[in-house]
Amino acid sequence: MRLLVISDIHANLAAFEAVLADTAGQFDRIWCLGDLVGYGPDPNECVALLREYDHISLSGNHDWAVLEKLPIAEFNPEAQYAIRWTQEALSAEARAYLDALPAKMEIGLFTLAHGSPRQPIWEYILQASTAAANFAHFSTPYCLVGHSHTPAVFEYVDERTVNGYAPVYSQPLLLDENRYIINPGSVGQPRDADERAAYAMLDLEEMTWEFRRVSYPVEVTQAKMRQAGMPHRLVTRLSYGW
């Protein structure tokens, strides 16, 4: 089975559509690691588009905040504006869909968590030291996470050693006997100084993971965000990938 692995769409329909166009005919199912909404201008459209495909999805911290499962005060003012706007814009159907999503699950050889296996909703895994503390919190060989908006690979060596790697786009990563925590990056709001939508392809027969990027019309999303009155920084950051 071939899987399209995505995370942090953040209601950016143009980015999501670009990823789907770039992978048309190449996958059998989608694994989404959460945060379908928040920040962006198309929450209902992104939820509806995901539901057109065979998929599983997690819930992320922005999804929880929109559903009032997390206090909005825990977010910065710009994110708070987007959360409140999304609460007003979200359809009853999309809300019910988001409300039913788990924050963590196991499927085959993989544990899926939005933030981390230790704290599925809120913890960022950005450093090898944080990854090292999380390997004890899942029993499968591999764990896939989102939340940080940054593609990354963390390889378990022993209890004291975890190696962190930046994504390699030129060749797939072979998922061997080593244990890994892997982040595909963000579809809708990348934060690694690359404005292109990030995603990954996972081949369960060959056991390979492939990081990918695709350009999308950033200006289309930005125009919608301005029309919605989104804060300037949220609009601008899409151009620079931060």
pLDDT in tens, 33-60: 999 999 999 999 999 999 999 999 999 9
pLDDT of residue 206: 97
Residue 169: CB partners within 8 Å, gap ≥ 6?
A: 211, 212, 213
Spans of the chain, pLDDT less than 50: none
pLDDT of residue 10: 98
Does CATH number 3.60.21.10 belong to domain 2-237?
Answer: yes
**Residues 165, 127 contacting (CB under 8 angstroms):** no
The CA radius of gyration of the chain, in Å to the nearest whole number, is 17
The one-letter amino acid code at 206 reads: E
Per-residue CA distances from 232 to 90, 107, 226 (Å): 22, 40, 8
- For 35, the token pair is 């945060």
pTM for the structure as a whole? 0.97
pLDDT of residue 158: 87
What is the distance of C-alpha 153 from the center of its chain? 14
Three-class secondary structure of residue 82 per DSSP: helix
- For 148, the token pair is 């940080």
- For 145, the token pair is 């996470």
Tokens 């990354």 belong to which residue?
152
State the Cα–Cα distance between residues 218 and 188, nearest whole angstrom: 10
pLDDT of residue 159: 80
